């Protein structure tokens, strides 16, 4: 099955009543509903898709000097995609950042929508990883902000 993930950051200042009154319910230039949107396809044929709530995610990677790091990030929602070849793709989201989720399916494909709250800053170090800045490891945060400058 083809799986697409759609992630939107909901503008906490969006005013639906204003949109209804002034623009037939649609957003306007000064009343934007979403601050950004990511959409990506899970690479490979997904045999099993599972949402795991209230879990700890192990953030693994390499420092710039090629030393390995591993940090446990608590209070996460993880999308687990098991491919038909047995490999597993994990897509972690800070549980507190999620406003709502929704799924649409047909015979050969599925789209999973994740709406994130904009009231707290989210770190997105790579495609498919969305962690609240407050929960992101401090030493990695410094590396992440250095890369953005």
Q: In this predicted model, what pLDDT tens digit does every residue of 76-108 receive, in sequence order?
A: 999 999 999 999 999 999 999 999 999 999 999
pLDDT at 116 over 90: yes
Q: Do 92 and 73 touch, CB atoms closer than 8 A? A: yes
What's the half-sphere exposure (Cβ side, CA atoms, 13 Å) at 18? 10
Q: Do 79 and 49 touch, CB atoms closer than 8 A? A: yes
* pLDDT number for residue 145: 58
pLDDT at 31 over 90: no
Q: Do 118 and 35 touch, CB atoms closer than 8 A? A: yes
pTM: 0.87
């Amino acid at each position: 099955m083809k799986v697409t993930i759609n992630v939107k950051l909901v503008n906490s200042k969006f005013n639906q009543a204003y949109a209804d009154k002034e623009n037939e319910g649609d957003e306007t230039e000064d009343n934007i509903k979403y601050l950004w949107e990511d959409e990506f396809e899970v690479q490979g044929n997904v045999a099993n898709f599972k949402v795991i709530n209230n879990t700890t995610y192990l953030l693994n990677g390499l420092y710039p000097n090629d030393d390995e790091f591993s940090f446990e990030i608590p209070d996460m929602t993880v999308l687990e995609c098991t491919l038909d070849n047995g490999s597993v793709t994990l897509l972690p989201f800070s549980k507190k950042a999620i406003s709502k989720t929704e799924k649409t399916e047909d015979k050969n494909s599925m789209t999973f929508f994740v709406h994130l709250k904009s009231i707290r800053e989210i770190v997105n170090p790579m495609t498919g990883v969305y962690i609240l800045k407050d929960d992101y490891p401090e030493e990695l945060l410094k590396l992440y902000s250095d890369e953005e400058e």
